[in-house]
Amino acid sequence: MTQLHKTAIILAAGLGTRMQSRLPKVLHRIAGLPMLTHLITSLTPLYDQIIVVTGPDMPEIAALAAPHRTIIQTERLGTAHAALIAEPAFGDGVVTIIYGDNPLLTAPVFEALIDAVSRPNPAGLALIGTHPPNPGAFGRIITDGPNVTRIVESAEATSAEKSITLCNIGGFTAPAAALRSWLRTIDNHNAKGEYYLTDLVARAHADGQAVQVIEAPWELCLGVNSRAELAAAEAALQTRLRAAALASGVTMTAPETVFLAADTILEPDITIEPNVFIGPGVTIAGNVTIRAFSHLEGCTIESGAIIGPFARIRPASVIGAGAHVGNFCEVKATHLGPSAKVNHLSYLGDATIGARTNIGAGTITCNYDGNAKHRTTIGTDVFVGSDVALIAPIDIGNGAIIGAGSTISDNIPADALAIARARQVQKPNRAAAIRAARSKPKDQ
């Protein structure tokens, strides 16, 4: 049996005027990732091709969508017009058209749409509906008994129609041939003078086709047209991510204060204390503790490590198994070896640090010379005293010891003791003389 070909069209040409932003609407982020990325991630397992319809002068969208194809809508004449521009790419099989500002929809919703129009005795058209707590400006789904007959936009709806609570979200799915035919007949005879994609329902009904609504929970259907709606979508997705983390075996003592990225990978038996922020690209192994007020992004934390409190782990860092990064420490592009420790008030940038090495309080790697970054390499079982400055590029051998307060600019061989500070000078009784001088009254 020939496999059904499936195409997804994402409409992403909107300027997002209400966002008050120069950034295209679908590039605004929730849970650390652009809205468009969320949709592409949900669609990818189900569809053979994904096509993004963008507006002119939106190269950022094309770059983000790659390797998926983009098509430019040079005139913004409405959602049906945008879909019709993509029509030559429909191919055969089934096509889903989805709005780019619905980032929270999940793969099971799209799977239900596909099933509705491809199973035995299929519907001719399927769409997503929901019951918003405040239907407001949503288009209402109009039915005649079991049959969906049309969608009426809020601006066109009568008082009776506005009392309907089942509302359109989008996600129109139909066989490609039928979809082509219906799109070509949609006109712009309405209050806004636009070609509405929602008119597909009336066209399918007039064609004698059954139209099925796939009802999705409201928390999956939050569209984003303003900063307030962006914040609401963020909150909804964070609730979903936290629930999934808890269900997978992660302990969060105050989950409502923990922020996760959509791509965060968490193994069981992790403990996350309050007020932790985890940005994109983080993988955390089991038996790790992330203490309060820590910030992580683009990093890997290996089993048994302890992070924080008040620690910042920046991109391209790997914290080895059993390693400790303590309070007010920042680590950037650094590999901290197994059981190594950097516990207090230190900065490690562009460094490789061996197993069991101890980094003393106030230590910094001086990795930037004003023009380029340079790397610090520290071996295993090294002891770095407090308040040490390591001027990169530099190599410190296994087992070396560096005295507190040193500024190190030369390589240190294995097992050497390095001290680089001025010799202490003491002047007996000078402190008492200074205090006496200070206590004399000043001349008037």
How many angstroms separate the Cα of 355 from the Cα of each of 258, 340, 352?
A: 30, 5, 10
Catalytic pick among 38, 189, 335, 344: 344
Please indicate, yes or no, if residue 86 is contained in any of the structural domains: yes
Q: What is the CATH number of the domain that holds 27?
A: 3.90.550.10
**Phi and psi at residue 53, to the nearest 5°:** -95, 120
Per this entry, what is the length of the chain?
444
Asked which of 220, 235, 252 is the last residue of a domain, the reply is 220
> Does 244 lie in the same domain as 213?
no
Same-domain pairing of 382 and 400: yes
Tell me, yes or no, whether 161 and 258 share the same domain. no
Assess if residue 80 is contained within a domain: yes
End-to-end C-alpha distance for the chain, whole angstroms: 107
Which whole-number Å values give the CA distances from 88 to 9, 110, 173, 176, in the listed order? Answer: 12, 22, 16, 10
Q: Are 299 and 313 in contact (CB under 8 A)?
A: yes
The token pair at 297 is 């992004």
The count of domains in the chain is 2
Whether the bond into 268 is cis, omega within 30 of 0 = no
Q: Among the three residues 177, 196, 220, which one is the final residue of a domain in this structure?
A: 220
Strand duo 299-301 + 317-319: pairing: parallel
Closest to 21 (Cα-Cα) out of 38, 4, 1, 35: 35
Please tell me the predicted confidence (pLDDT) of residue 102: 95
Token output for 220: 């999956």
CA distances from 92 to 3, 63, 443 (A): 11, 27, 99
- With left for phi above 0 and alpha for psi between -120 and 50, is residue 214 left, alpha or beta? beta
CB 276 within 8 A of CB 290: yes
Contacts of 321 (CB under 8 A, 6+ apart): 285, 302, 303, 304, 305, 338, 339
Per-residue pLDDT 10s for the chain (444 aa) are 468 899 999 999 887 788 899 899 999 999 999 999 999 999 999 999 999 999 998 999 999 999 999 999 988 888 999 999 999 999 899 999 999 999 999 999 999 999 999 999 999 999 999 999 999 889 999 988 878 999 988 888 899 999 999 999 989 999 999 999 999 999 888 778 888 898 999 999 999 999 999 999 999 999 999 999 999 999 999 999 999 999 999 999 999 999 999 999 999 999 999 999 999 999 999 999 999 999 999 999 999 999 999 999 999 999 999 999 999 999 999 999 999 999 999 999 999 999 999 999 999 999 999 999 999 999 999 999 999 999 999 999 999 999 999 999 999 999 999 999 988 899 999 999 988 888 887 765
Gyration radius of the chain over CA positions: 30
Are the beta carbons of 211 and 127 closer than 8 angstroms? yes
Q: Are 11 and 82 in contact (CB under 8 A)?
A: yes
The CATH number assigned to the domain holding 242 equals 2.160.10.10
* Same domain, residue pair 247 and 190: no
Q: Do 400 and 418 form a contact (C-beta atoms < 8 A)?
A: yes
**8 Å CB contact between 387 and 402:** no
Q: How wide is the angle at C-alpha 232 spanned by C-alphas 227 and 233, nearest 5°? A: 95
Give the model's pLDDT for residue 327: 97
Whether 42 is in a domain gets the answer yes
Q: pTM for the complete prediction?
A: 0.90
Domain that holds residue 366: 227-418
Q: Is 295 a catalytic residue?
A: no
Same-domain pairing of 22 and 114: yes
Q: Are residues 278 and 390 in the same domain?
A: yes
29 and 138 co-located in one domain: yes
Secondary structure class of 110 (helix, strand, coil):
helix
Of 192, 215, 218, 158, nearest to 80 by C-alpha is 192
Whether 104 and 171 share a structural domain: yes
d(CA 246, CA 439): 65
Question: What's the pLDDT at 1?
Answer: 44
